Amino acid sequence: MEFDTIRDYLLTKPFATEDFPFGESTHVFKVHSKMFALMSWRNDALMVNVKCDPEDSFALREIFSNITTGYHMDKKHWISIYLQSTGSDKSKESRLIPDGEVLRIIDNSYLLVVDKLPKKQQTAIKLHL
């Protein structure tokens, strides 16, 4: 998946906003001021950090070599997904996660954050899902 595709998808989430509290190179996506995703380039690869249930995190890291514990995040509740390389190393391409799985992981991150919001905000968001 490409940067613009993921960015657009993240912003389709109800009440999602984009912010740059860590500088121009790190895109932070929030719902009601709570982060559910960060996106940037790291080591020539597009990286997306998302919240994740600890059990799901372990399973995903076992299945996909390009999913790691969250870079600069709480290692228990965040994962980093490395999506594409800007380099010429084609061996990385074989480890890419299917697009549908990336979107599912993003959806789960969003819902984990929404579930921690006050009930009134949860209801307003869930009406838009």
Predicted confidence (pLDDT) per residue in 20-51, tens digit: 999 999 999 999 999 999 999 988 889 999 99
The CATH number assigned to the domain holding 7 equals 3.90.1150.30
- Residue 16's CB is within 10 A of a number of other CB atoms, namely 17
Q: Which of 5-19, 66-80, 104-118 has the lowest mean pLDDT?
A: 66-80
Number of structural domains found in the chain: 1
Can you give the pLDDT at residue 76? 86
Strand pairing of 67-69 and 78-85? antiparallel
Question: Which residues, 6+ apart, have CB-to-CB distance to 108 below 8 Å?
Answer: 50, 51, 52, 53, 56
- Tokens of residue 14, six digits: 């109800």
- In this predicted model, what pLDDT tens digit does every residue of 78-116 receive, in sequence order? 999 998 754 545 444 446 789 999 999 999 999 999 999
> What local confidence, expressed as pLDDT, does residue 74 receive?
77
* Average pLDDT rounded to a whole number, residues 65-87: 83
For every residue of 101-121, which 3-state class applies, written as one string? Answer: HHHHHHHHHHHHHHCCCCHHH
Quote the pTM value: 0.88
Which residue segment(s) compose the domain that 21 sits in? Answer: 3-126
